Structure 1
């Protein structure tokens, strides 16, 4: 027989007699994590100007290339032109890349080298235009005068700060009213805006660009920082271009090629690989054929969080804010996200002209990316 007594639903579908049961927690669905900023950590210092600058230097080059189409007998000719004759001195031992032949430079005139072929008993090989020449080192004569001084000039590089801001405004009534899931509406709004600005900071650090003219900003020009992707020019790898492996699927051949090229041309120590979700799954697949599980294993693990190769140990960072076709290869010791002194994210209360409280969450930051040749990026990958 059906129940005919008093029940919770007797008063109607809206259950007017029952106390509300609302969980005392507000769930946030939007992503706001900043894994790259977390990996870089707190900066050791602050910027002191809206244009933050730093100095960079490099050693004298020990590579060049042949720039000569006039060889008559390429395994005998003792004179040929190079791109930069000022990189060579009499007494240099030189060797073409992937060649066994050693040569000794006896004279440098402009961009023309005079050499001894087949030096030290090596066998002469054909020379050709665009071949890379390695300068092994210089052999000085005993008792000789000092050589002419050679040096490099330090260069000053910089980036502008960018202001990140969001307004907070809550009515007096809303502040006074009892809220579900939180104790103070004003504090809650501050926290939400701060999460959004931190998310935007990481997004800008990766993808931001800098205006070509009036980059310092004006009453009508917004000052923006140059992000990582816009800063990298030396090591940009695209499938099938300049010797980079073909195919748009990320694999170990592509990753190791990029790591090796950066290692060969800089003293960078790549320790961060920054990817989106699609490329992270490709990296996980590197070891898919090597996984094995025993009868007692109750957990299936499909994760690669560190990639160790001949060229370093790299922590893999997965961020939502990187383009899905890109893989960033970074030396974290040469990267800093700096606040302008006294301008890290903070809340500034503003005067109220009515029945409300108002304020602004403000922060001003810049990216310091030193020695851009110590970093790299792979683009054009299938996601």
Structure 2
């Protein structure tokens, strides 16, 4: 009987249209990121896109008269003979490079030599070339890093009895299709949680692979962290974090947070909101944060109910992609002779998170309440 069947019984349906509809209604991070290239294997890699650093760090303290300076491990690759390095108000001229050890001229071009603190950051101003010399034959890829992740299988199962499928429910044309879409929403919620909290695990024959998410990559890469020590979020704390990301060579365009943190961001604009006598509404909402840095980097506030109340993430959302090994689909899962209809919803994909060290900042220790 037609009432006991469903029109898509033998179909393997791609669920992309259903996913798009759900993501339009659900304000979660998963709906905001783009799709990367399709995967061809369960482990996938990518190269992080950033310029080699022009900052070198002193490995020890030096007097203003010292002419030998040892940099941090591997940082000698950033310097060449005749390079100029800024140390406070002093310009240092490099006369020789041997690994990470520099022989230098202090107080170059009339500048005043200054002491160098251990761990001091110094900027390489330029690396000039002598006319007529050969091309620089030095590996410039010292900062090139490759990251990787694993794809993860996400699955849900929907089943209704033949009686349920036959009964006509108000507002539901097909009970099984209705249940499939509910399970799909649950699958997408799980995928969104994986994007935020997931841990990277290769998997074995007895244990499934899992895809690492934002917090995992932030910890692995050493992303900037700001601890608010149980206080509400502050403009200074946000600005400090945006500046820290910027000085690492990254950018921020998104603040991902729970509702309580979004309310705290809105409070930052409280003293600047004015109403006129004729207005009949009160209250306000801040949908973006403009930093006090020159140029005023703008970060939109994205509220995700899956985020913890005491943490927020500053992100460059353009660096985050979903990579599909198989996109989400559903297919018949009814066993022969069963008095029911069933569908299996499944997809296998993982997360590409580029430049986590430069483009992610973790805000922690935020008050879970709003005063």
Q: Which TM-score bucket, shorter chain as reference?
A: 0.7 to 0.9
1:56 aligned residue: 48
Q: CA RMSD in A?
A: 2.1
Gap runs ≥5 in structure 2? 1-24
Matches within 5 A, 1:297-336: 297-309=279-291, 310=293, 312-336=297-321
Matches within 5 A, 1:2-13: none
Change (3 A) 1:347 1:60: closer
Query: Residue 87 of structure 1: which of 78, 88, 101 is its match?
Result: 78
Secondary structure at the aligned position of 1:64 is classed as strand
> 2:254 aligned with 1:272, yes or no?
yes
1:251 aligned residue: 234
The answer as to whether partners of 2:233 and 2:265 remain within 8 angstroms in 1 is yes
Secondary structure at the aligned position of 1:348 is classed as strand
Normalised by the length of structure 2, the TM-score is: 0.84
The answer as to whether partners of 2:77 and 2:140 remain within 8 angstroms in 1 is no
1: CA distance, partners of 2:246 / 2:28: 25
Following superposition, the deviation at residue 145 of structure 1 comes to: 3.7
The answer as to whether partners of 1:58 and 1:152 remain within 8 angstroms in 2 is no
The answer as to whether partners of 2:49 and 2:354 remain within 8 angstroms in 1 is no
2:119 aligned residue: 130
Secondary structure at the aligned position of 2:245 is classed as helix
Matches within 5 A, 1:1-383: 33-41=26-34, 43=35, 45-56=37-48, 58-69=50-61, 71=62, 74-83=63-72, 84-96=75-87, 99-152=88-141, 154-211=144-201, 215=202, 217-232=203-218, 233-239=221-227, 248-266=231-249, 268-309=250-291, 310=293, 312-340=297-325, 343-352=326-335, 353-373=337-357, 374-383=359-368
2: CA distance, partners of 1:55 / 1:127: 34
2: CA distance, partners of 1:320 / 1:254: 22
Following superposition, the deviation at residue 226 of structure 1 comes to: 0.4
Following superposition, the deviation at residue 34 of structure 1 comes to: 4.4
The answer as to whether partners of 1:34 and 1:198 remain within 8 angstroms in 2 is no
Following superposition, the deviation at residue 58 of structure 1 comes to: 4.5
2: CA distance, partners of 1:370 / 1:272: 15
Following superposition, the deviation at residue 57 of structure 1 comes to: 5.3
2: CA distance, partners of 1:370 / 1:67: 29
Following superposition, the deviation at residue 259 of structure 1 comes to: 0.8
The answer as to whether partners of 2:242 and 2:251 remain within 8 angstroms in 1 is no
Query: Which protein, 1 or 2, shows the higher relative CO under an 8 Å CA cutoff with sep ≥ 6?
Result: 2
Question: How many residues were matched structurally?
Answer: 334
Secondary structure at the aligned position of 1:301 is classed as coil
Tell which deviates more after alignment, 356-365 or 78-87: 78-87
1: CA distance, partners of 2:360 / 2:261: 18
1: CA distance, partners of 2:136 / 2:343: 66
2: CA distance, partners of 1:362 / 1:246: 41
Higher helix share: 2
2: CA distance, partners of 1:231 / 1:82: 28
Change (3 A) 1:190 1:300: same
The answer as to whether partners of 1:34 and 1:199 remain within 8 angstroms in 2 is no
The answer as to whether partners of 2:157 and 2:343 remain within 8 angstroms in 1 is yes
Following superposition, the deviation at residue 246 of structure 1 comes to: 6.5
Change (3 A) 1:155 1:134: closer
Secondary structure at the aligned position of 1:170 is classed as strand
Following superposition, the deviation at residue 355 of structure 1 comes to: 1.5
The answer as to whether partners of 1:89 and 1:138 remain within 8 angstroms in 2 is yes
Normalised by the length of structure 1, the TM-score is: 0.81
1: CA distance, partners of 2:134 / 2:348: 55
1: CA distance, partners of 2:103 / 2:205: 60
Change (3 A) 1:247 1:221: closer
Change (3 A) 1:55 1:376: same
Secondary structure at the aligned position of 1:175 is classed as helix
Following superposition, the deviation at residue 40 of structure 1 comes to: 1.8
